[in-house]
Structure 1
Amino acid sequence: MRTRFRQTGNQLRKNWKISIRNKKTTSCALLLPLLFNISLLLIKLAIESNPSESNQDKLSQPRESPVFPRCNKKFDLKCNTLAYNGHGNKQVESVISRLLTYSDTPRNEVHGERTETNLDTYFYQNPNKTLFGIVFRFDQTEYTDTIPEDARFFIQVNESTLYNKIAYDDFYDIFCPVQILLQRALFEVVGEFNINIDVQFSKFPHPKLVTIDTAGALGKTFFFWALLFNMIIMAGQIVQEKESRKRFGMKMMGLTDFSYWTSWILTDLLIIFIVILVLIITGSICGFEFFLKNDFSIYFVLFLLFGLNVVATATFISTLVEKTKSATMIGFALFCIFTIFNGLASVLIYNEDVSKIYRIIFSLLSPVVFTKALNDLSIASGYDGSTGMRWSSISNNAEIFPMRTCFNWLVLDFFIVFFLTFYFDNVLSKGIGVKKTLFYFLKPSYWKGKANKNENEILVDLKNAEEENSKLRAMDLKNQKKKKNDKGQEQEQEKEKERVEGGAQNEDLDVRNERKKLLDSSETESTIVKIYGLTKVFKKNIVRSTIKDFKAVDNLYLTMQDDQLIALLGPNGSGKTTTINMLTGLLPPTGGFASIDGYSIISEIGTIRERIGVCPQHDILWDELTAREHIKIFAGLKNIPKQQIPLEIEDRLAEVDLIDVGNQRVGSFSGGMKRRLSVAIALTGNSKVILLDEPTTGMDPVARRHVWNIIQNAKKKRVILLTTHSMEEADILSDKIAIIAAGKLRCVGSSLHLKNKFGAGYRITMIIEEGTLNEIKEIIKEKLSNVLFVSESLVTLTIEIPRSNTHDLPEFFEFLDLNKDELFISDYSVSMTTLEEVFLNIAKSAANERYNELKEKLKGDLLAQKEIEKKKNQFDIHYENLNYHSQLNYQNEDDDVDESSNPKKKKVLKKKIQINEKKNKVKKKIKRNSKKNIKNNLKKKKKIKKKKKNIVKKKNKEIILSENDISSENELGIQLDAIIDKDLIKPDLINFESD
């Protein structure tokens, strides 16, 4: 626990320094509340400066000559503007006639019925036909010609009429005009006198008008924005550290998830705290009653609880995505959605008419609850005479969700979101990090801290599997002996025996011995790292179900001794980085396990991380921090005593020659300087095991040589695992070399051992006189059999002697020494096959093996075999190009040596090198053109296939490819993308370095 707290403090200092030095982002977060409060103040001043126009609606003037609209005929259908009852009553008819005269309405647009019942029946039988109706209500049982004095009338408007009513307002356009005209007509007919009715509007008596509280009306939205906008900034910062692999780099060096998340939550909470203070102080200065009337501690606690939820939401977003841009987009989308809820929460959610279950569901969203609480505070302080909210009233300030309930929900929401953050961080690891199952927390092994299968059980399974394989190999050898009885096949039988005894097909005996040594527990006490059958299989996605699982590392056995540097070589995609990720716990092994200094990567990865140093393939550096601050951060992760950290910083920077720039920010460093700092970080803390993943990438030759010296000195009392693409680096530094291809260990041993075992033999480079090349070649052919002429020029000749002919070399060297002058040979040198050539031969052998496996697997499928053959040819062409570059580099190194010993021929040699460079450019151009041609041919083939399918559909003739063939073709294309490209032609990406 003490370690966790120290790491948390260490990360807090790092996050805070980065935030301070990232001035633009931090200033944006802190100035937003100030800008929002100033905007509120300006709106308030604008309202107070013109209250008459802003606090009341202007009353519209009445129409001088009231008229009502007529029905609008459509589709040539008859319509009625007016319908009435009392038809046949003289006074009623007189009133209607005058009404029509006043409004200029024709008689044919009027319909009359005798009784109210008849009128209702007419409306029912003729829907959407009449604009409005007039009902005269008096006793009509006895027919009279007059309207009684106690009669009343009602105006009815058809709300569902089909006729043009879009621009009408029932009250102003129909009710008022009809009522005015009808009353005028009644006075004239019944009262026998004329009147003019004037309409006026006046306000009811009311208290003195007051200006609205701007903070109460708009503040809840502005305060909401000021806090919620930080969610976008915080999510982007966390994901940026995740995207650049900095988090996983620190995790490899011992950082715990608890310390990581706690440090980010505390850092962001500190920023939120400052934002809240700025919001409250500036709001109080602006004189907003929201801050002046309500109790300070109530809205401060409210803001703080919502700030916690903002931080939790930002961390939750960071677990869902891998890219900073995606995190920013999701954060902005949520900002917009929550803003909409901010305007609708009080009306649509916290309303008496809304079901309780819906209020509970929406209350799981902290912005909705925060909006409700802001609204309650605004109401409590938003009118004259209000005293604001106090703690004594937080339980009864509202019937639905009072303030105390809002506080409880905000606390609950924080813990829910934080739990989801921790959960999704474990189950959505996106390829990096140990990904747990969906219900990992329900397994007893999670709470007990033990793996489902311990190391002893795995080791027993591995031994049983090895015994089964040994029995199968013995049976295979026995069957082979029965088939081969001829004496002429004895040599082939011996090769078969060596193959079978070596293990799997074409397995090297050194690889088998490495496995046997581990399974028999015959390794010595100095063995620090033991890898037992380590396997990693990447499962393919459900959408492309036809693709098979990809095995990145396949049953790897390897030992590493104390005071030893092991170079792990292989083409891109061969499993080097995957192996390192499993050793550091970033990836869980699918099978097997490994132990480092006696601790298992399955159950004790935390302890292992404290004992290893890692220089990953990508630099885990922050541009805002200095070199010294970087060393201090990782020294804290390694639990180095505080009093020893300053000395550790100086020692590490001095080792990589960065002492003079130790106080400069890393953002100003070159690529080579950053790699040197990464090496220094890996060496921090006197770790027992150092993992260096391509440590000298991007360095100039001088810096590379300097780092080589550092690595050479660092391996004392340590184990160093080095991955590199530089064969020279592996040759110089390594005590042991392991070459893997297609996930399998192909060979293991010292550089000299591998050259002797897999190399082509010896090379002899001779410096000759100009014009003697052909004669010397003829003499060499006579003296040596199976000789290969590697390269030749006017003054140099390089030959290669296979290992099978090495017994001829002493006699040949004696011949050269005795006849140098006669042969016009000024000097010669002898060298073994380079490690680069050994690597290429093994890579090609692995590719051929994979090619044969695929060919056998897809036997009978002509389309598949053609595609595989084409991929194979592409690989062979590229292999020849790489081999050519290897020979060219080798030759140029010999030429450089020759220039110093033969200054007279310097110009000739330079010219030769220029010619070789031109050849190299031509080869590259040919290669690019060939790739374009291949792509064009593939496009043409696709078009031809489409045409064939269309012809088959139209003419129903015999189909060359059956449905099964077509499906197998589609499956083949997917398999080739997933398997062949990864296993067969991966050497395309090999980059060799030479000084």
Structure 2
Amino acid sequence: MSEEKIKDRPNYYNFTEEINPEQDSESSSNKNMPSMYKLQLKLLLWKQYLVFKRNLKSTLFQILTPLAVCLYLLLIQFTANYVFDNMVTKNPDTIDLWKIPKCYGNDCITLGIGLTNGENEFSDYIIKYISEKHHLKIGKDIKILAKNDPMQLFDYIDKHDNQTQTAVILCTGPFVLPPNRFYNGTFDCLGSSENYTVRMYNIVFNSSSLVSMLISEMNSPMPVNYPAIAVKSALDEALISYQSKDQKIDIKVSTQGYPEPKNRHSNHVSIIKNSGPFYFFIPPIVTFVVVLIELVREKEFHLRSGLSMMGMSHSPYWHSWFITAFIFTIFTSNSVIISGKLCNFDIFLNTPYLILLMMFGFFSISMTCLAFLLSTFLRTTKSAYAASYVFILVGLVFQLLLSDINIIYALWSEEAPDWVAIVRAIFTLYPPFNFSKCFGDIARKASVHYSHWEHKHVPGEYYSWNRFASRNRRIIPSALESLLYLLADSLLLCILAWYFDHVLPSNRGNSDPVYFFLTPKYWGFNKKIQKIQSTVEDTNEEVADSVSFEKRKVIDLEDSSSSIRILGIHKIFQKNLYKTSEDIHAVNNIYLHAKRGELLALLGHNGAGKSTLINMLTGLCKPTSGSAKICGFDIRENMSEIRKVLGVCPQHDILWDELTAKEHLILFGRLKGESYDKVYEEVNERLKEVNLSDEADLLAGTFSGGMKRRLSLAISGIGDPKVIILDEPTTGMDPINRRQAWKFIKKLKEKRIMILTTHSMEEADVLSDRVCVVVDGRLKCIGTSLYLKNQFGDGYRVNIISKEVERVVPIVRIVMPNAKIIDSSGGSLVLGISVKDVKEIGEFVRIMEGEEIGELSVLKDLIEDWGLSHTTLEEVFMIVTGKKTNGIK
């Protein structure tokens, strides 16, 4: 490659440049594992860099969420300060109480009357006066509830809750006091002398109607019963009028509260201290959701499996995502800290930067590890979104409780029952709990807090490292210990994610046994290969010969580094944990062989087992029994070695919408270990061969279905693979691009081993060297296209067009006595000739070419047009699969 071309390359591709770019593909197989690990890790980080760079809105949302949270908290703090600062009333309002407010409602009594010794002139006057002056009806608004015993009034009130607004006991004569410790006996309330007259009354009001202190303003005084004060004013006015011999008296009564100062308990209230764990729970959750959805998206759309098939190891895949999440953690954590300092929050000003970075960083990392774990269970992005929403809702509810550090401290109370210790241990495994505990420890000193010594709120203190590592009350863990718990949670979640990534088949395709970490194989020790079954069960005698021959050929063939040998491979999908008759035998005892320079086409109806066989060969699922060897490597033991020489065009496109066509080819080419210069040169060639040169720098998300298939086809040939497996590569292509793709496939076939699955019989006929038909997981027949047509087809067909078909038929029977009429209608005659009678066609051809053969020569004049054709591969397929018989009518 010339220096000029190298200089013209886009700069962002240099991110994938290897330390030693001169290494070619021949030396790539000699690379040690650490160098391949570094290369793959670098490539995956480059891929994620491009994905997040082009998803700019999502990326900025993650980084700027902390700023939005801090600005929102600042707004709440300003609002709270304004409200508390204005809870000062220098001149309270004056309330006039000269009129008794009327009680409205069913059976509601405005004023209930209780008499000590029956009715008299005094009581009648008082009741009448209040009724007229305050427009209250006697018997409805004013009722006598007790005439001779005041206790009857209280009994009535007890039996009729919230029905009497205010009650008055008027003294109308001597009465016996209820038992009490001050005075017992008869009490005469009508004492009088020459200088004065005693008139006594008692007001009873309903205290439950008063506004509770719990729902009243923080700075308001004890509640006042204004109706009771109005009743007192009315009674005093009526008494004066009675004593002054019916003179009308107007007493104006009003009330005014004391000026209200600022309440010391509401002064310097810190929203950050009280609600910080709730709101700062949000930024790490955003990263958690993004990572979870991206991981599940790559699983759902087979992007991860596509990378694996092309040679990617699982370790760099997970490490690249951890590094990506760690970078976002650094950005979001610093965004929180900087935003908090800019908003002048005391907890951020009084706490060392490193402590804050550790607190927010460790929490974000633990949430990322939780996303890793959840991604191993979820299969679709829809379920990932649902799981994210559920976790956010449940998490926010928990954070409302965990925002109060006193609730958390209560879990360490010495007086708590034993079961609280279990709850505390469970909560310790929940990362937001440890974050809330650490945040609360810091906020209770670094933020404004209430000093029990000074009995007031005091400014926050500097939170030293010594205090960070010190325990509170000796039994409560320190803030440092809470952060260590966060790290322990992260480690535990990563171990669980690693374990379930191995044992759940939806992750790697090949699931390991639950005890995989106890097996020698996992730690690099060899183990015996499972014995291969060697029986062929085929009930179709017509096709058994070719299958049996293929089986003997495969068994007798020695191991070769340039062939594929499929050895009695089985795949059974069990519906239950144990074998039943309902189990699906997707692939059943198949033997196949493909050599270098050969393209083997697999034909079969939907569900025949073609894709399952391909998945086993590419390592996406394990065979139930049997095995296969690709270039001398066993698919059960050496899949990592196989993938170094394997190129795959899967049934589903393994493409990222955010990457261009050129970037896809560079990514997959470099995964093979090829040098960058060689891959870059090969990329342009591959794009030209699939007619995508003009779209090289367009994002794959803008491609049509056919363009994506062409790109996937180009990817399968990148990196100079020795084996290429194509699973329906031309699906969705238009005829022109399909022909172009066929040329590309034929070119790739040179010096390579290729397996092709397709539903297009024309494609199989044009491209394949051999064709095999699979029916219900079984190999039915195998051979060249011509061999299958001769073996299972109808032979040859002669198509004749004539206006005198009745005269033509007798002559044709003389020329081709073994020919059978397949169809005769509308001046068209179709004759079938078996392969063994093919010589009869020769005489017919000589006549049609003008050779004089007696009376038979008239046939040329009777026939307007004619044609000769062989049985199509499609007809062979229909016969072999049982959809059509090969008998000619």
Question: Which TM bucket (shorter chain)?
Answer: 0.7 to 0.9
Q: Among residues 803, 813, 832, which one is paired with 2:870 in the alignment?
A: 832
Q: Find 1:806's aligned residue among 834, 838, 841.
A: 838
| Equivalent runs, 1:388-467 vs 2, <5 Å | 388-396=462-470, 398-399=472-473, 400-430=476-506, 433-437=509-513, 439-441=514-516, 443-444=518-519, 447-448=522-523, 454-455=528-529, 457-459=530-532, 462-463=533-534
- Percent identity of the aligned residues? 31
Residue 753 of structure 2 corresponds to residue 736 of structure 1: no
Cα distance change on mapping 1:588 and 1:173 into 2, 3 Å: farther
**In 2, Cα distance between equivalents of 1:795 and 1:55:** 109
How far off is 1:659 after superposition?
4.2
Structure-2 residue corresponding to 1:844: 882
State the shift of 1:686 in Å.
Answer: 2.1
Contact 2:795–2:870, Cα closer than 8 Å, also in 1: yes
Q: Which residue of 2 is the match for residue 510 of structure 1?
A: 546
Q: How many residues align?
A: 788
Q: Secondary structure at the match of 1:566?
A: strand
SS at match of 2:460: coil
Tell me if structure 1 keeps the 8 A contact 2:97–2:230: no
Equivalence map 1:289-328=2 (5 Å): 289-328=346-385
Separation of aligned partners in 1, 2:431 and 2:92: 42
1:7 and 2:81 aligned: no
User: What's the counterpart of residue 692 of structure 1?
Assistant: 726
Task: Pick closer, same or farther for the CA change 1:130–1:703 going to 2, 3 Å.
Answer: closer
Q: Is the 8 A contact 1:82 1:130 kept in 2?
A: no
- The aligned residue for residue 611 of structure 1 is 645
Q: Residue 537 of structure 1 aligns to a residue in which SS?
A: strand
Q: What residue is the counterpart of 1:862 in the other structure?
A: none
- DSSP 3-state at the match of 2:505: coil
Match of 1:538 among 536, 551, 573: 573
CA contact (8 A) 2:277 2:403 kept: no
Larger radius of gyration: 2
CA pair 786-821 structure 1, distance change in 2 beyond 3 A: closer
Q: Secondary structure at the match of 1:578?
A: helix
What residue is the counterpart of 2:197 in the other structure?
none
Match of 1:163 in 2: none
Question: Residue 271 in 1 paired to residue 325 in 2?
Answer: no
* Separation in 2, partners of 1:57, 1:783: 127
CA distance in 1, matches of 2:91, 2:754: 85
Q: Distance in 2 between matches of 1:351 and 1:199?
A: 44
1:738 alignment partner, SS class: strand
Partner of residue 438 from structure 2, selected from 373, 395, 412: 373
SS of the counterpart of 1:317?
Answer: helix
Moved more, 255-264 or 663-672: 663-672
Alpha-carbon distance in structure 1 between the residues aligned to 2:871 and 2:716: 33
Q: In the TM superposition, what is the alpha-carbon distance from 1:13 to its structure 2 partner?
A: 0.6
Give CA deviations for 1:1-25 in whole Å, capped at 9, x if unaligned: 4123321221011011111012232
- Asked if the contact 2:95/2:255 (under 8 Å) is kept, the reply is no
Question: Residue 528 of structure 1 aligns to which amino acid in structure 2?
Answer: S
Alignment equivalent of 1:283, drawn from 340, 346, 368:
340
Once residues 647 and 690 of structure 2 are traced to their aligned partners in structure 1, the CA distance between those partners, rounded to angstroms, is 16
Matched, 1:138 2:211: no
Say if 1:324 and 1:395 are closer, same or farther in 2 by CA, change over 3 A. Answer: same
Check whether the contact 1:624–1:667 (CA below 8 A) recurs between aligned residues. yes
Q: How does 1:231-246 map to 2 (within 5 A)?
A: 231-246=288-303
In structure 1, the residue corresponding to 2:803 is in which secondary structure? coil
| TM-superposed deviation, 1:128 | 8.5
What pairs up with 1:495-506 in 2 under 5 angstroms?
none
- Post-superposition offset of 1:126: 9.1
Secondary structure of 1:725's counterpart equals coil
One-letter identity of the residue aligned with 2:347 = F
- 1:249 Cα offset (Å): 0.9
In structure 1, what residue type is equivalent to 2:319?
T
Asked if 1:566 is matched to 2:632, the reply is no
Q: 5+ unaligned residues in a row in structure 1: which ranges?
A: 89-93, 148-152, 161-165, 189-193, 470-501, 849-878, 884-995
Deviation at 1:28, TM superposition (A): 2.5
Moved more, 703-712 or 103-112: 103-112
Provide Cα deviations, 1:919-974, integer angstroms capped at 9, x if missing partner: xxxxxxxxxxxxxxxxxxxxxxxxxxxxxxxxxxxxxxxxxxxxxxxxxxxxxxxx
DSSP 3-state at the match of 1:458 = coil
Unaligned runs of 5+ in 2: 1-32, 118-122, 135-140, 170-177, 191-201, 210-214, 217-221, 240-250, 449-457
Amino acid at match of 2:511: K
Native 8 Å contact 2:205 2:228 kept in 1: no
Distance 1:791 1:146 in 2: 131
Question: In the superposition, relative to structure 1, how do residues 379 and 560 fare at CA in structure 2: closer, same or farther (>3 Å)?
Answer: same
Q: What letter matches 2:715 in structure 1?
A: I
1:344 counterpart letter in structure 2: L
How far has the Cα of 1:176 moved from its partner?
Answer: 11
Q: Can you list the C-alpha shifts for 1:631-670, whole angstroms capped at 9, x where unaligned?
A: 2211232122445433343443344344454333333444
Q: Which residue of 1 aligns with 2:64?
A: 31
1:17 alignment partner in structure 2: 50
Letter in 2 for 1:538: F
For residue 664 of structure 1, give the secondary structure of its aligned residue in structure 2.
Answer: coil
Name the structure 2 match of 1:473.
none
Match of 1:638 among 672, 675, 699: 672
Distance 1:312 1:110 in 2: 79
Contact 1:68 1:177 (C-alpha < 8 Å) held by counterparts? no
Shift in alpha-carbon separation, 1:175–1:693, aligned structure 2, 3 A? same
Q: Which position in structure 2 is the counterpart of 1:599?
A: 633
Which residue does 1:718 correspond to in 2?
A: 752
CA contact (8 A) 2:544 2:781 kept: yes
Q: What is the TM-score normalised by the length of structure 2?
A: 0.75
Aligned to 1:823: 860
Match of 2:73 in 1: 40
Preserved CA contact (<8 Å) 1:689 1:719: yes
Pair 327,209 (structure 1): closer, same or farther in 2 beyond 3 Å: closer
Conservation of the 8 A alpha-carbon contact between 2:670 and 2:719: no
SS, match of residue 459 in structure 2? coil
Q: Structure 1 residue 752: deviation in Å? A: 1.4
Say whether the 8 Å CA contact 2:687–2:714 is kept in structure 1.
yes
Deviation at 1:225, TM superposition (A): 2.0
- State the one-letter code of the partner of 2:787: H
| Contact persistence 1:503–1:512 (CA under 8 A) | no
Measure, in 1, the Cα distance between the counterparts of 2:648 and 2:93.
80
